[in-house]
Amino acid sequence: MATFQVRIEDIIGATASVGSDNASANEQAIQDALQDTASDIINKVNPDILVQFATKSSNVTSNPIASNIENSRIVLVERRESDDTTDLYVSCVYLDASLQGKIQNPHSIFFATDESPRWTFNDNDVYVYPEPASANPSRYYSMENPTIEHGDSSVAKFPNELEHALVLGASARLKQRQITFFNEDEDSEVVAMHRAQYQELLSEYANALAPFMVSGR
């Protein structure tokens, strides 16, 4: 399979036109574009798609079950049922931190129970309700932002069906970078052409992501 650099060059042209004659600088720009796009994809797509690629934590018996979550996305949180004879875990429903008070209010529709546990973020920490305990531990699955080199042809622990979107998104970012190196007063027609290509790439990227998106993201 062709490398990401080759696949990007097939879309936007030689990477020397990305804005520098320095090959190393251009390769770094490609790597940055790929990694920024991968992070964008991970944060936007349905978490169910990512669970199989995520890292599962060990069991945690108190809140917060995770702290200082950065450069990754929590894609699933689970809590063991009170009847633990079958070691069955129940998926927790995510609620915004603004509803945290209601999670613990028995009169609220958002009240957390053993059958319908909840999880939320608070200052980059992950909390589960009802609170975990030794008999009812919780665990989470996190999707790390991958490291991608310009010469790679695939991404470890990343959905194959999203690699085309990855290439399109990285191409759009590099096209945007390319535009900044033109003098618009001298090259107005060229700049207009590249801006049109940039908008087209953004549209193609959005369309490639659409079937995998979470509503509202």
Q: What is the pLDDT along the chain (217 residues), one digit of tens a residue?
A: 899 999 999 999 876 555 556 778 889 999 999 999 999 999 999 999 999 999 999 999 999 999 988 889 999 999 998 765 668 999 999 999 899 889 989 999 999 999 999 999 988 899 999 999 999 999 999 999 999 999 999 999 999 999 999 999 999 999 998 888 776 666 788 888 989 999 999 999 999 999 999 764 5
Phi and psi at residue 89, to the nearest 5°:
-105, 140
The CA-atom distances, in angstroms, between 152 and each of 147, 163, 181 are: 10, 12, 27
Q: Is 149 a member of any domain? A: no
Closest CA to 158 of 146, 149, 169: 146
Q: Is 41 a member of any domain? A: yes
Q: Is 217 a member of any domain? A: no
| Structural domain span for residue 24 | 4-45+159-212
Q: Is 14 exposed, middle or buried (0-12, 13-18, 19+ CB in 10 A)?
A: exposed
Q: Is 108 a member of any domain? A: yes
The CA-atom distances, in angstroms, between 154 and each of 1, 105, 150 are: 8, 47, 10
Q: Is 55 a member of any domain? A: yes
pTM here? 0.88
- 3-class secondary-structure state, position 141: strand
Domain final residue pick, 144, 171, 189: 144
Q: Which residues contact 4 (CB under 8 A, 6 or more apart)?
A: 30, 34, 148, 149, 150, 151, 152, 153, 166, 167, 170
- Count of domains forming the chain: 2
Same domain membership, residue 140 and residue 58: yes
Same domain membership, residue 140 and residue 100: yes
192's enclosing H/E stretch is helix 188-209
Same domain membership, residue 131 and residue 205: no
Same domain membership, residue 116 and residue 179: no
Same domain membership, residue 61 and residue 127: yes
Residue 24: predicted pLDDT: 83
Residue 184: predicted pLDDT: 65
In the sheet that 93-94 helps form, which strands lie side by side, from edge to edge?
93-94, 118-122, 125-129
